[in-house]
């Protein structure tokens, strides 16, 4: 037949290479025949010759097969029922060396078929239209649109000519048939409306009919969901949704029939699942409306089905910023979404701001569910808080408090506070729970826009601001029984008692943290440029070892106790006077403490520590836990061995050696023991030894001798 195409299969030979070609009636070679599967386009009708030869002489065996595209030796007809999803398909075997098997069928132009991978090695082949032009190719799982008129032919072959058992399965997605029905049900437990199915290594399907345009939520049972992928198509076979992009809702824009296709991506030969499709545009099954006040209890929602979606209505005004917090009551993972009356997400994509701003007045709905479901579960619960961030209602009001006093915000529940800030400026903001542990929050302006986080906040103007604990963490619910105190203080301390910086007397300040979140302060006597250290009882613990930050007269950070104040020395930079601000360590809500901030640079009134093994004796007690000694420049060498030993009593001690500039040369206050000898390289000038002991009754002998 004129303009025919031959499908060829030249088997791989043993021995020397075998080659083949096809020539027309004039002996002109039309095409070479390649090893494995191939094709040859012919010209005019007539007699053609197939020649097989050895490329380099010798010997070799082979198999060869040729099949006509236009006049195949046989062609099996596929009935319309074959294109049903309920069809088992056609199972056949390609014999060894076969150039292919032919199938003929007709379907309406524009039909969309799902091409299942045939399996059986590398079975493949084209679907041809009425003009024998390729429309689609069957090999891997894919969709095929019959874009040109039929009737159609499909030619399948195994590319290497091997014997191959395969299954031809081409269900029609457009105007699909053979799919069990799935109904879009209400919110909450859908009961008998929950669909089920089993998907094998092929696909499964469900047919969904809707009377009106609506958005639907799709949920599969949790274990199977991780292995399943799904798509939804309209009746014309156009994809309208898929699992990833439409995880939060699939908009069905017109009434009619839709087809859901479910694919098994696991290694298991089959998966049985439950499927819940919920009409997100309706209100059936919604719970009672909730207010957005901050002082109402969290909602407790129940889940009795692995595919359930719950609904809570909420009314808002245009511009309102709504925060939604959701958390399971037992180990699980909860999710919540804010949608409008059509079931469409109100906020999509990333936003640097918290919450969701409502576009118009009206009733919205918070949709929520639990992701995980154990097989033995019958009733799981989670908590939900829906709150308005702008113009908040039900938040206790806090005004700035004072240092060395209980915090302005006393222990109370409710995760929000309204802060009445008198003027622009920087403030310390610290929430601490009843156990003494710091909590963290976000601070917003009157419109619900982020201003800063807790700890330190610079307010652009005086006015009302809102603090929300874990404000930017939607996976947290804090009930009224979570109580915390709140410190709100200007960063420039005030009302602070002044403490001596005399190293010789080591006068200590005794303070008391009476409640969580309390900040104390002292005014330091040392001028700008001086260097100071923090000295406290070696056995101090908990709140007895306060967290200390030194700031200048403008509230700017200078140093703190986690580093220079204890390990080295702190140079006072910035404008005087300077302040030490103290607060309790995490987990220690209330306790007394004793601390001293001596000046370690310049001259001092410390007694001289004589050179020699005898040295000097120190007596410690509850009120006297530290001492200092000076070593004049002419009474030490370039290296000295400093030794201290506890001679009576209990406890430990540590020491450090500093020069006249306040630079630490050896030792460390935070490394206590009952005795220690340390070889120290010293500068040419005078040095000072500071000994810090436990606040208990004891005596120590301290000395220094020339080192080697």
pLDDT digits (tens, 9 = 90+) for 64-80: 999 999 999 999 999 99
Residues 327-350 have a mean pLDDT of 93
Evaluate if residue 494 carries a pLDDT over 90.
Answer: yes
Query: Which pLDDT does position 165 carry in this prediction?
Result: 96
| pLDDT cut 70: percent of the chain above it | 99
Query: Which pLDDT does position 271 carry in this prediction?
Result: 93
Q: How far apart are CA 680 and CA 662, in angstroms?
A: 16
Residues 568-575 have a mean pLDDT of 95
For residue 462, how many other CB atoms are within 10 A of its CB?
12
- Residue 558 Cα distances to 64, 360, 456, 578, 580, angstroms: 89, 49, 15, 9, 10
Residues 179-202 have a mean pLDDT of 91
User: DSSP class of residue 186?
Assistant: -
Query: Which pLDDT does position 278 carry in this prediction?
Result: 96
Position 342 in a domain: no
Evaluate if residue 689 carries a pLDDT over 90.
Answer: yes
Tell me: cis bond preceding 577? Omega within 30 of 0 counts.
yes
Query: Which pLDDT does position 12 carry in this prediction?
Result: 77
For residue 590, give the nearest of 400, 411, 401, 402 by alpha carbon: 411
Q: 613 and 700: one domain?
A: yes
Q: 505 and 587: one domain?
A: yes
Position 355 in a domain: no
Domain of 34? Answer: 5-68
Evaluate if residue 267 carries a pLDDT over 70.
Answer: yes
Q: 31 and 100: one domain?
A: no
| pLDDT cut 90: percent of the chain above it | 84
> Which of 137-141, 432-436, 563-567 is predicted with the least confidence, judged by mean pLDDT?
563-567
Residues 364-381 have a mean pLDDT of 92
Evaluate if residue 590 carries a pLDDT over 80.
Answer: no
Evaluate if residue 56 carries a pLDDT over 80.
Answer: no
Query: Which pLDDT does position 566 carry in this prediction?
Result: 86
Q: For every residue of 189-248, which 3-state class applies, written as one string?
A: CCHHHCEEEEECCCEEEEEEEECCCEEEEEEECHHHHCCEEEEEECCCCCEEEECCCCCC
Q: Which residue has the tokens 């009672």?
A: 288
- Residue 78 Cα distances to 1, 90, 109, angstroms: 24, 9, 16
Determine contact, residues 598/501, Cβ cutoff 8 Å. Answer: yes
Number of compact structural domains in the chain: 6
- DSSP line for 584-636: PPTT--SEEEEEB--B-BS---PEE--BEEEEEEEEE-SS--EEEEEE-GGG-
DSSP-derived 3-state class of residue 80: helix
pLDDT category at 471 given cuts 50, 70, 90 is very high
Last residue within a domain, chosen from 168, 195, 226 = 168
Residues 115-142 have a mean pLDDT of 95
Residues 8-13 have a mean pLDDT of 85
Q: 508 and 581: one domain?
A: yes
Position 335 in a domain: no
Evaluate if residue 61 carries a pLDDT over 90.
Answer: no
Position 111 in a domain: yes
pLDDT category at 637 given cuts 50, 70, 90 is very high
Query: Which pLDDT does position 53 carry in this prediction?
Result: 85
Position 601 in a domain: no
Query: Which pLDDT does position 706 carry in this prediction?
Result: 92
- CB < 8 Å & 24+ apart, contacts of 565-570: 565/532, 565/533, 565/534, 566/533, 566/534, 566/669, 566/670, 567/664, 567/668, 567/670, 568/664, 569/531, 569/532, 569/533, 569/600, 569/601, 569/658, 569/662, 569/663, 569/664, 570/531, 570/532, 570/533
For residue 667, give the nearest of 690, 650, 647, 698 by alpha carbon: 690
Q: How far apart are CA 318 and CA 363, in angstroms?
A: 11
Evaluate if residue 58 carries a pLDDT over 80.
Answer: no
Q: How far apart are CA 384 and CA 291, in angstroms?
A: 12
pLDDT digits (tens, 9 = 90+) for 404-416: 999 988 889 999 9
pLDDT category at 299 given cuts 50, 70, 90 is very high
Q: Which two tokens stand for residue 173?
A: 């997605």
User: DSSP class of residue 508?
Assistant: P
Q: 44 and 93: one domain?
A: no
Evaluate if residue 708 carries a pLDDT over 80.
Answer: no
Q: 84 and 64: one domain?
A: no
Evaluate if residue 257 carries a pLDDT over 90.
Answer: yes
Residues 610-636 have a mean pLDDT of 94
Evaluate if residue 16 carries a pLDDT over 70.
Answer: no
Last residue within a domain, chosen from 279, 300, 328 = 279
Last residue within a domain, chosen from 250, 279, 308 = 279
291 class by beta-carbon count within 10 Å (0-12 exposed, 13-18 middle, 19+ buried)? middle
CATH code of the domain in which 653 resides = 2.60.120.380
Residues 684-705 have a mean pLDDT of 96
pLDDT category at 15 given cuts 50, 70, 90 is low
Position 343 in a domain: no
Predicted TM-score (pTM) of this structure: 0.84
Position 340 in a domain: no
Q: 562 and 583: one domain?
A: yes
Evaluate if residue 591 carries a pLDDT over 90.
Answer: no
Q: 613 and 634: one domain?
A: yes
- Averaged pLDDT of the chain: 94
Residues 533-551 have a mean pLDDT of 91
Position 550 in a domain: yes
DSSP-derived 3-state class of residue 476: coil
Query: Which pLDDT does position 241 carry in this prediction?
Result: 97
- Residue 70 Cα distances to 5, 130, 257, angstroms: 7, 10, 38
Q: How far apart are CA 16 and CA 76, in angstroms?
A: 38
> Which of 14-23, 399-408, 430-439, 497-506 is predicted with the least confidence, judged by mean pLDDT?
14-23
Evaluate if residue 367 carries a pLDDT over 90.
Answer: yes
């Amino acid at each position: 037949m004129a303009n025919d195409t031959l499908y060829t299969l030249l088997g791989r030979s043993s021995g020397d290479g075998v080659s083949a070609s096809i020539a027309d009636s004039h002996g002109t070679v039309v095409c070479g025949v390649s090893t494995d599967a191939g094709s040859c386009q012919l010209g005019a009708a007539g007699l053609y010759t197939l020649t097989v030869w050895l490329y380099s002489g010798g010997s070799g065996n082979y198999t060869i097969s040729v099949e006509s595209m236009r006049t195949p030796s046989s062609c099996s007809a596929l009935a319309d029922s074959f294109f049903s999803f309920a069809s088992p398909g056609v199972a056949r075997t390609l014999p060894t060396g076969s150039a292919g098997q032919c199938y003929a069928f007709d379907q309406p132009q524009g039909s969309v078929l799902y091409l299942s991978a045939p399996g059986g090695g590398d079975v493949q082949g084209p679907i041809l239209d009425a003009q024998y032009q390729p429309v689609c190719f069957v090999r891997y799982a894919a969709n095929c649109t019959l874009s040109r008129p039929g009737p159609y032919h499909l030619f399948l072959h195994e590319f290497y000519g091997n014997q191959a058992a395969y299954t031809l399965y081409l269900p029609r997605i457009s105007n699909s048939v053979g799919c069990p029905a799935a109904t879009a049900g209400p919110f909450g437990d859908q009961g008998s409306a929950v669909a089920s199915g089993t998907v094998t290594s092929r696909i499964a399907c469900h047919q969904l009919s809707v009377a009106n345009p609506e958005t639907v939520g799709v949920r599969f049972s949790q274990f199977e969901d991780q292995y399943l992928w799904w798509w939804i198509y309209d009746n014309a076979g156009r994809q309208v949704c898929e699992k990833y992009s439409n995880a939060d809702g699939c908009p069905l824009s017109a009434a009619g029939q839709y087809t859901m296709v479910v694919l098994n991506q696991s290694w298991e030969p089959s998966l049985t699942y439950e499927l819940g499709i919920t009409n997100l545009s309706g209100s059936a099954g919604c719970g009672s409306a909730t207010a957005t006040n901050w002082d109402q209890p969290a909602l407790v929602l129940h889940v009795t089905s692995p595919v359930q979606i719950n609904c809570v209505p909420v009314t808002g005004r245009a511009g309102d910023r709504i925060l939604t917090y959701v958390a399971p009551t037992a180990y699980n993972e909860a999710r919540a979404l804010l949608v409008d009356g059509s079931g469409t997400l109100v906020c999509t994509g990333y936003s640097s701001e918290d919450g969701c701003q409502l576009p118009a007045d009206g009733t919205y709905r918070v949709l929520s569910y639990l992701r995980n479901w154990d097989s033995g579960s019958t009733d799981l619960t989670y908590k939900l808080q829906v709150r308005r961030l702008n113009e908040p209602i039900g938040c206790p009001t806090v005004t700035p408090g004072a240092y060395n006093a209980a915090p302005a915000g006393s222990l109370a529940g409710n995760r929000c506070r309204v802060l009445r800030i008198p003027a622009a400026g920087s403030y310390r903001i610290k929430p601490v729970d009843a156990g003494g542990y710091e909590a963290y929050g976000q601070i917003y302006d009157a419109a619900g826009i982020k201003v800063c986080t807790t700890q330190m906040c610079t307010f652009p103007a005086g006015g009302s601001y809102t603090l929300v604990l874990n404000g930017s963490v939607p996976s947290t619910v804090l009930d009224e029984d979570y109580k915390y105190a709140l410190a709100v203080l200007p960063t420039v301390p005030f009302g602070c008692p002044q403490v001596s910086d005399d190293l010789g007397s080591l006068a200590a300040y005794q303070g008391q943290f009476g409640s969580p979140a309390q900040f104390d302060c002292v005014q330091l006597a040392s001028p700008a440029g001086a260097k100071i250290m923090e000295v406290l009882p070696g056995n101090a613990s908990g709140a007895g070892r306060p967290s200390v930050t030194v700031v200048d007269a403008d509230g700017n950070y200078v140093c703190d106790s986690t580093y220079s104040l204890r390990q080295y020395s702190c140079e006072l930079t910035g404008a005087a006077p300077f302040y030490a601000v103290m607060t309790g360590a995490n987990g220690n809500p209330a306790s007394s403490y004793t601390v001293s901030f001596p000046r370690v640079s310049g001259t001092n009134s410390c007694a001289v520590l004589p050179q020699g093994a005898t040295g000097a004796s120190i007596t410690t007690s509850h009120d006297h836990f530290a001492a200092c000694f000076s070593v004049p420049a002419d009474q030490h060498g370039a290296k000295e061995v400093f030794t201290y030993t506890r001679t009576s009593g209990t406890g430990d001690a540590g020491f450090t050696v500093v020069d006249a500039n306040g630079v630490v040369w050896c030792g460390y206050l935070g490394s206590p023991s009952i005795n220690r000898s340390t070889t120290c390289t010293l500068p040419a000038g005078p040095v000072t030894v500071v000994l810090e002991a436990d606040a208990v009754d004891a005596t120590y002998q301290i000395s220094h001798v020339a080192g080697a």
